[in-house]
Amino acid sequence: MKIALAQQNYHIGNFESNTQKIISAITTAKQQGADLILFSELCICGYPPRDFLEFDDFINQCYKAIDAIKEHTQDIAVIVGGPQRNESKLGKDLFNAAWFLYNREVKATVQKTCLPTYDVFDEYRYFEPAFNWNIIEFKGKRLALTVCEDIWALSENPLYRTCPMDELAKQKPDLMLNISASPFDYDHDDDRKEVIRANVKKYGIPMYYCNVTGSQTEIVFDGGSLVMNAAGEVVKELNYFEEDFAIVDSNTLLQHTTTAYSKALNKDMRVSKIDNHEKIIAYLTQTKNIAEIHKALLLGIKDYFLKMGFTKAILGSSGGIDSAVTLALACEALGAENVRAILMPSQYSTGHSVSDAEQLSHTLGNPYDIVPIQNIYDAFLTELQPVFNNLPFSLAEENIQSRSRGNVLMAIANKFGYILLNTSNKSELATGYGTLYGDMAGGLSVLGDVYKMQVYALARYINRNKKIIPQNIIDKAPSAELRPNQKDSDSLPEYDVLDKVLYQYIERRQGPKELIAMGVDEALVNRILKLVNTNEYKRNQFCPIIRVSCKAFGVGRRLPIVGKYLS
């Protein structure tokens, strides 16, 4: 039996576009002689639809889309993902289902059993787990069809009480089919392949795995759909971070058999396994990770603008490493002509800050303007003088500069219809080293899930073929330039020290005792962790962040603002 994988990029709630894309792939599969074609989890409506699922009209449109697709299933079976109403009064009103369509009929539906609620997932908020598990017979083959997380229930200490494949295996299937919406992050991108391998070896049968690609606000899906035979060998792997299509004949896979696979998966496969504190920076900045982050950020920017109907971006270009990397990424994703850089020097800016930023824009070919802020800043101080009452220069005056820049950027954005890209990195957001309504302003955060040391690595990666970011931007000490001779290190530990502690605390959830046991100074641990926890209120007001790690700030990390823990 010839089975096609259609790895596609969907738009949440854009039923017309999603449906046409699916029908187009069905037509291609028919022309190439496929018997069956797989699409990804919730492809009908896009993933994750979140509270759209609470609207009857949204569900009705999902059903209409399935009816439209069904008309194109003559002589080819189609598996699509979409919500299904729960006809029982027990439990939630919906299932997350795989719909098996053939000859213009719904031949079967399979409901997802394992509904994740960790990190960015919140499926048990909307869906009811499956009540039963049955194979599907089609063209002489017995198919075990599952949805995404259903194949992850193999660990020694599983998150779920029922493993769907254990139930389906009792019915002696010939093939496993899995439709997924599995997000990218550099911390466990290889784990997905190992999960598939563990399944095929445990049950001794091949798997067709269809994942989604594209970016949905902050979540990036990298694709990587594949076919694996029962020996754990990858027979076909689709491209990453782009749409792709392939057909693989199942008869070529069934020639391999294997004994049961006894190795259990680690329950924490979704959490980084880096436990050597001194090797963290090397791990974070290794070329493989940086190359994947680069692709993910480009896709995140591109899809955010495309799916929101935006065309042009604006950002503040300071001559620093963060704005330089953000500008280079935006120009690559959107086209240099669509990205406007605004240079906003103050009396505390160094001369090379402006010249470095100008050189970068000349190299990239993007438009830029210079809007000095000293007069704006002085006007603020003049009007505030009676209230400030000659008190010494402090953080208040520093932040007025940052907020003046934020106002300039938003004014130009409003005037010309730009979207402001934020340039803050994860190290700054973690420690609160940023000004609300100033340099924390923006419609989308490009680097908010990228640590400072990774930003430097990204700059070097961007320069891998030719010099784009001036070397002086990479080499000079980072500074907010809000007071004379200011350096980031005046307020924060050196970034190569800071990022290791932040990664251990945020990604690996290591507490103070564990960090101190690793040899980190106790006072430093307490200082950094307090900075992270007391600045939750700032992050709560921040814009969406493109997620590239296993624990990004935003929807996947939910902490109380007023909590006392470690603060």
Instruction: Name the token pair of 140.
Output: 């002489």
Q: Is the peptide bond before 345 cis (omega within 30 degrees of 0)?
A: no
Q: Three-state SS for 183? A: strand
Strand partners, 420: 314
* H/E element, 296: helix 287-308
CA distance 524 to 520: 7
Residue tagged active-site, from 43, 62, 114, 148: 148
Q: Is the peptide bond before 48 cis (omega within 30 degrees of 0)?
A: yes
Q: What is the DSSP string of 492-536?
A: S--HHHHHHHHHHHHTS---HHHHHHTT--HHHHHHHHHHHHHTH
| Region for 172 from its dihedrals, namely left if φ exceeds 0, alpha if ψ lies in -120 to 50, beta otherwise | left
Residue 107 phi, psi dihedral angles, 5° rounding: -85, -30
Nearest C-alpha neighbor of 12 from the set 241, 179, 238, 181: 181
Active site residue 41: yes
Residue tagged active-site, from 112, 201, 202, 500: 112
Residue tagged active-site, from 41, 128, 292, 398: 41
CA distance 170 to 166: 7
The C-alpha torsion from 528 through 529 and 531 to 533, rounded to 10°, is 170
CA atoms within 13 A on the CB side of 302: 19
Strand partners, 178: 146, 209
- Pair 43, 8: CB distance under 8 Å: yes
CA distance 203 to 104: 32
Active site residue 148: yes
CA distance 182 to 214: 11
- Pair 247, 29: CB distance under 8 Å: yes
The Cα angle at residue 45 between residues 553 and 43, in degrees rounded to 5: 90
Query: Which residue numbers are catalytic?
Result: 41, 112, 148
